Chains A and B, each alone.
Chain A
């Protein structure tokens, strides 16, 4: 069964003045190809990792899946739903979490989670149960009624997770979820990603941290300059490694693509 199906996906952005002046760019090139014809599939109960350096197109790909951006061409289907034609239906199946915690500082965790539950039209009784389960799982009861602005980064990330999961999405999209977090909070996030996978949900996440790739990935796609350099299982990638470490292998794959 395929939960996310991405086919020949392309996305361009209009280049800014500075970007147009960058060395190596043609004078007539007004557009930047952020995602250039990528194809991959994600299955339920598996973690799909998008690995790539900065500017590879990871965030753009995840934003396209999350319906925040519209592709120039190609298609994305989530559980059979075309995200361009029916973005609302696709969003109901999605939970989107980014690394930099993005929350409303003047609300409390309880109010924020309730707001997102309302936006997802979660029934009141269902909301109460899910909120209690999530707050217990993430150990959030103590600060559930404290304004988010007064919470620590780790606490805020927990609130972000609760917000993302309150509507019990089938697909979880994590965009560099551990960026800027301390070791303990990062570990909690990694554990959560595994837990979500074990519940049978589909997880797609982007990272440039090699440790997370080896610890979490079931499937792997290596992105470089908007194109896929590798797409397969992580076990296969690790088995075919020509370098001593994962990091060196990653760099080798990128260099091979550049040639």
Chain B
């Protein structure tokens, strides 16, 4: 054990002096998120503001109907009305972005209104997104006009408007803020720290096995009176620690990013504050350690099996996909931690984190997740020790 500590201390010092490890472990998670969050929120907010403030270039053909609607549009400063176009021209103009939209009333619209029948209005726009602001603004124009017409009809029929209001809905969400926030951010957070946990431990794993083999330092180390298991455990400790540290720094980076960004809603700010409760942190950390040990086991085994640093990189990098997919599945709505999926690595951590944040984790499920991760971590260590005993893998030449 003392020797494993000696190896650990040296490997830690060596890794902390490696700028590539520091980049992946500290700089990227710490700076990337604040930067990404600030840039993306600023971009989204600016884009939305621009879309709301932009003058709508609207093609209009009332076919001699809805004069009140036409006059209303002509008076508005945020709308420029273009008339006289035919429908076949409109498709091209909208495609070319010369017009933002087109509204067409059917020829006998006014007659239908008088007869209290439904009138047909066509709206043309080009939208590839569900939440397109331009589309929303076009539909709002018609919604407002429809409300005016409805009011007018009811007045003509001497009917009180409130008669249409059958249910007056009062919504009371009794979910705690933490539960609501778990739904909003609960999926994203484990996705984030699982990735950083993997990335943070990846580079030291490659450097401490394949890198050392390539540089030839492993050979001299193995001539020292130290058991291979001690060497392995020393390296393992560093890889696991860097992974855990990287994941924690990524959460800190996210927190800083959210705090620094003025455009982020208060709700999300609350999520982070709630997340930073000692109990949640403790539970997350207790999941992170076996998860990183499992990652470290896989990565170190591959690194030992690789002949060179580059080969190890080529072997381990695709493994990221294997990690991302179950982490992503955990993001899907409706996915909850259950007895079956509690044994699937990565997915179980993703779902357990959601459950921890939502305060609905049970001891039984948590124990299952833990047992699965510890089992896999032990398997990882065992496979490394088997590979570490193989001469053909340790020495490049005979």
List residues of A whose CB falls within 8 A of some B CB.
Answer: 11, 13-14, 32, 34, 59-60, 63, 66-70, 88-89, 91-92, 94, 96, 98, 100, 102-104, 106-107, 111, 115-116, 118-121, 147, 163
Contacts and interface: CB of A to CB of B under 8 A. Distances in A.
* Interface SS of chain A: mixed
Contact of A91 (B6, B224, B394): B224
Given A68-B223, A106-B18, 11 more contacts: A13-B392, A34-B398, A69-B395, A91-B225, A94-B223, A107-B17, A118-B6, A119-B6, A119-B7, A119-B224, A120-B225
Contacts of B6: 115, 118-119
A98 B226 CA distance: 19
Q: 6 closest A-B pairs (Cβ-Cβ)? A: A102-B216, A106-B17, A119-B224, A96-B223, A91-B225, A13-B398
Interface of B: 3, 6-7, 10, 13-14, 17-18, 215-217, 219-227, 391-392, 394-395, 397-398
Contacts of B219: 68, 98, 102
Contacts of B220: 96, 98, 102, 163
A85 to B, nearest CB: 14
Contacts of B3: 119
A32 B397 CA distance: 12
B223 A67 contact: yes
Contacts of B13: 106-107, 111
Contact of B217 (A32, A59, A103, A147): A103
14 contacts: A11-B398, A59-B398, A68-B222, A69-B395, A69-B398, A91-B223, A92-B225, A98-B216, A102-B215, A102-B220, A104-B217, A107-B10, A115-B6, A163-B220
Given A104-B14, A106-B18, A88 B227 contact: yes
Contacts of A60: 398
A58 to B, nearest CB: 11
Most buried by B among A66, A70, A115, A121: A115
Contact of B391 (A70, A104, A119): A70
Nearest to A164: B220
Given A13-B392, A13-B398, A118-B6, A107 B223 contact: no
B11 to A, nearest CB: 9
Contact of B224 (A59, A89, A120): A120
Contacts of A59: 397-398
Contacts of A66: 223
A106 B7 CA distance: 15
Contacts of A32: 398
Nearest to B392: A14
Nearest to B221: A119
A70 B395 CA distance: 13
Nearest to A97: B220
Contacts of A118: 6
B225 A107 contact: no
B5 to A, nearest CB: 9
A68 B224 contact: no
A98 B217 CA distance: 10
Contacts of A102: 215-217, 219-220
A118 to B, nearest CB: 5
A16 to B, nearest CB: 10
Contacts of B223: 66-68, 91, 94, 96
Nearest to A100: B216
A13 to B, nearest CB: 4
A88 B391 CA distance: 17
B398 A115 contact: no
